[in-house]
């Protein structure tokens, strides 16, 4: 996990889970008032650096399809879309 703090308050966080040669990036989040300052990019790059040191060769993540700022960031960092998935719900009878 990587976290940026300002005055002991977390402003950006991210989690990496290593499984063999793959690393999954999860919960990359920046507080709204601190966005567009490079924190998300730094979090992702820090997590990828750590993962590479641990032997990872492939990284993956999930992002909501309409999160355009995140999509742009991940594209700049070399991520490409592999597939989409959908959540489905059923009303209880």
Spans of all domains in the chain: 2-76
CB 3 within 8 A of CB 12: yes
pTM of the model: 0.86
pLDDT (0 to 100) of residue 86: 84
The CATH superfamily holding the domain 2-76 is Gcn5-related N-acetyltransferase (GNAT) (3.40.630.30)
pLDDT (0 to 100) of residue 26: 96
pLDDT > 80? residue 93? no
More confident: 2 or 58: 58
pLDDT > 80? residue 85? yes
Q: 8-23, pLDDT tens digit by residue?
A: 889 999 999 999 999 9
């Amino acid at each position: 996990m990587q976290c940026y703090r300002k005055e002991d308050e977390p402003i950006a966080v991210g989690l990496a889970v290593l499984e063999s040669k793959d690393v999954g990036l999860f919960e990359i989040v920046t507080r709204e008032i601190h966005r567009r300052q490079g924190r998300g990019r730094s979090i992702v790059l820090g997590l990828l650096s750590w993962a590479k040191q641990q032997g990872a060769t492939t990284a993956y993540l999930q992002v909501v399809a309409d999160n355009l700022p995140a999509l742009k960031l991940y594209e700049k960092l070399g991520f490409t879309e592999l597939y989409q998935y959908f959540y489905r719900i059923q009303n209880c009878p």
